[in-house]
């Protein structure tokens, strides 16, 4: 190995999305602390007035938002909200010199509009407008100099937050795909156990599945933003997972009453293999593992039982999920600038294990 590669290996290792995902809490806490320390040093090194607003902004921006895409979204919303709120606050100060009542009426109107739009898609932006208005204008008797300092501190805090989010960036897209990988692997295990009548705590397994599904729901917007895609594909994959959950829940209820599950094992093995390959494909970014030639569901010559129909639906759902992930893969790969991917042989070896 070249000396330069040896020296940069630790840095490249901690930039690996899988490492960042596995240690996301610790890295997030360290990053927020470093950003706060940097803001504190700026306050202590320069004669900045109202510097506490910079520190407040850093904590608010990064506190519970670990992903780069979410921080970028929040920064855009806060920038717009801060700008509009600051202008509204400066206007309130100007109106105060004309008539305090006119200034108060303007502030109440802005707060009214802010509260109205706070319950909606642009809620954070609207809320920031109202907060910034109060910060800048106070009760109408503040000074322009003080207002500008507060606005500048909020803007600087937002910039520091973005820089901190770029340090060991935790992408919502990576978090989303690792959760998806775990769910696909869990799906393969659940179906295999149910179909082969192997004892399994299905309730606990489905509980883990649903917990990941709920977590993925909150990542969709930021993940789509990071790979510059609409949320349509992500929503479709989300629906596919909910279908899997429903199928396994119904299968578990009726499995003990059914002698065999569809096609004497051949279809079962194909579905399990497809789910395992899809899990590894999305985790290790190997699109060829998503290319699965699942056989068409074969219902038995006798009257098909409930599990036969459920297995046929499971096969179709698995095929659709693989197709949707295959279409999304180029956009995912485009975001992986510092990824240390496993080789295809390593991914296949892990799949076989």
pLDDT, tens digit, 9 for 90 and up, residues 149-170: 877 888 888 888 878 877 767 7
What is the tens place of the pLDDT at every residue in 112-151?
999 998 887 778 888 888 888 887 777 766 667 777 787 7
Confidence of residue 261 (pLDDT cuts 50, 70, 90): low
pLDDT given at position 258: 63
> 315 pLDDT exceeds 60?
yes
Which residues are within 8 A (CB) of 114 and not within 5 positions of it... i.e. 6 or more apart?
A: 126, 127, 129, 130, 133
pLDDT value at residue 57: 83
Tokens found for residue 51: 């510097």
Residues 202 and 249: their CA atoms lie apart, in Å, by 8
Domains of the chain, by residue range, sit at 3-166, 172-352
Whether the Cβ atoms of residue 275 and residue 188 lie closer than 8 Å to each other: yes
Ramachandran angles phi, psi of 291, nearest 5°: -85, 95
The tokens describing 291, both together, are: 């290319």
Least Cα distance to 243 among 300, 296, 191 occurs for 191
- Higher confidence at residue 208 or residue 351? 208
**8 Å CB contact between 257 and 104:** no
pLDDT for 237 equals 94
Given pLDDT bands bounded at 50, 70 and 90, which one contains residue 342?
A: very low
Q: pTM of this prediction?
A: 0.70
Position 300 scores a pLDDT of 53
Q: Write down the pLDDT at residue 259.
A: 56
Place of tokens 């240690």: 23
The pLDDT of residue 311: 79
Range with the poorest average pLDDT among 41-55, 68-82, 145-159, 329-343: 329-343
Q: What is the 8-class DSSP label of residue 47?
A: -
**Structure confidence by residue, pLDDT tens digits, 211-227:** 999 999 988 988 888 88
Lowest-pLDDT range of 54-58, 105-109, 179-183: 54-58
């Amino acid at each position: 190995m070249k000396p330069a590669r040896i020296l940069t290996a630790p840095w490249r290792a901690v930039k690996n999305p899988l490492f960042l995902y596995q240690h996301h809490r610790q890295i997030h806490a360290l990053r927020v602390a470093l950003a706060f320390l940097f803001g504190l040093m700026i306050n202590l090194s320069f004669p900045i007035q109202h510097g506490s607003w910079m520190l407040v902004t850093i904590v608010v921006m990064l506190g519970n938002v670990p992903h780069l895409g979410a921080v970028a979204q929040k920064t855009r919303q806060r920038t717009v909200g801060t700008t509009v709120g600051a202008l509204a606050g400066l206007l309130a100060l100007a109106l105060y010199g004309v008539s305090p009542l006119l200034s108060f009426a303007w502030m109440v109107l802005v707060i009214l509009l802010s509260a109205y739009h706070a319950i909606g898609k642009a809620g954070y932006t609207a809320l920031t407008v109202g907060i910034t208005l109060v910060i800048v204008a106070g009760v109408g008797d503040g000074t322009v100099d003080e207002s500008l300092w507060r606005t500048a501190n909020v803007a600087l805090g937002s910039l520091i937050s973005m820089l901190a989010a770029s340090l060991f960036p935790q992408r919502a897209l990576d978090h989303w795909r690792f959760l998806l990988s775990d769910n696909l692997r869990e799906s393969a295990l659940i179906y295999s156990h149910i179909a082969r009548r192997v004892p399994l705590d299905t309730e606990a397994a489905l509980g883990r599945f649903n917990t990941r599904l709920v977590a993925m729901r909150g990542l969709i917007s930021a993940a789509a933003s990071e790979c510059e895609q609409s949320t349509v594909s992500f929503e479709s994959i989300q629906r596919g997972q909910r279908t899997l959950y429903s199928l396994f829940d119904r299968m578990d209820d009726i499995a003990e009453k059914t002698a065999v599950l569809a096609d004497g094992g051949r279809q079962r093995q194909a579905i399990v293999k497809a789910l395992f390959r899809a899990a590894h494909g999305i985790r290790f970014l190997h699109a060829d593992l998503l290319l699965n030639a699942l056989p068409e569901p074969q219902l038995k010559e006798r009257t098909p039982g409930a599990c036969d129909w459920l297995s046929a639906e499971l096969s179709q759902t698995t095929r659709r999920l693989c197709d949707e992930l295959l279409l999304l893969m180029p956009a995912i790969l485009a975001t992986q600038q510092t990824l240390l991917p496993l080789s295809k042989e390593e991914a296949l070896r892990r799949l076989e294990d």
